[in-house]
Chains A and B, each alone.
Chain A
Amino acid sequence: DAGVIQSPRHEVTEMGQEVTLRCKPISGHDYLFWYRQTMMRGLELLIYFNNNVPIDDSGMPEDRFSAKMPNASFSTLKIQPSEPRDSAVYFCASSLAGSYNEQFFGPGTRLTVL
């Protein structure tokens, strides 16, 4: 059974460019989470969805960041315009209601903004 799938695994872009990160959660999971991990700030929750609806986006750093979940099997995190301080590893995770919130993480997307 496939786990959480993220693409791309690595992304290098220049400051000012638009970046789109993609996530496919585990089939049947109804929660989806986006995290960012850096050495300085550790693991941060950016936003999470329940049944494709955003529940808490208080961790989204600023208006340059946006996330969507058009259906149960796909989500995107977009940064426009990107800045060097956005360089980080971005993780997507999914979970199933009633499972004590056990989350399954994807392998992450390493983003470098030059």
Chain B
Amino acid sequence: GDSVTQMEGPVTLSEEAFLTINCTYTATGYPSLFWYVQYPGEGLQLLLKATKADDKGSNKGFEATYRKETTSFHLEKGSVQVSDSAVYFCALSAYQGGKLIFGQGTELSVKP
């Protein structure tokens, strides 16, 4: 079945460091891919998305490129801030009108 695998956390970085959180997926067809972020005490919110191969999603300095050949959707940011500390979830939707398949989440902690 469809699945999403994320790198395990927690990831601890110093402010202004470069961030990569790896995400790979298994799916039939051509899924849409998402990154959601969950700040402490809050619900998940959409960070960025990509709906077809080679699309790049971007928001708030974060980017991810939909790579069909490697079935990956890695999240990157060039310079993290303390306020980026949160849990990040990679997800896919395999077809319109259905559920999202989430990865297990990766906790990011950014130290000043």
Contact = CB atoms under 8 A, between A and B. Distances in A.
Indicate, yes or no, whether A interacts with B: yes
Nearest to B93: A101
Nearest to B104: A42
B99 A105 contact: no
A101 B105 contact: no
Contacts of A91: 43-44
Interface residues of B, number: 19
B29 to A, nearest CB: 13
B58 interface: no
Nearest to A106: B43
Interface string A67-105: 000000000000000000000000101000110111111
A108 interface: yes
B43 A48 contact: no
Given A43-B105, A100-B32, A50 B97 contact: yes
Interface of A: 4, 31, 33, 42-43, 45, 48, 50, 56, 91, 93, 97-98, 100-108
Given A91-B44, A108-B42, 8 more contacts: A42-B102, A43-B44, A43-B89, A100-B51, A101-B93, A101-B96, A107-B42, A108-B43
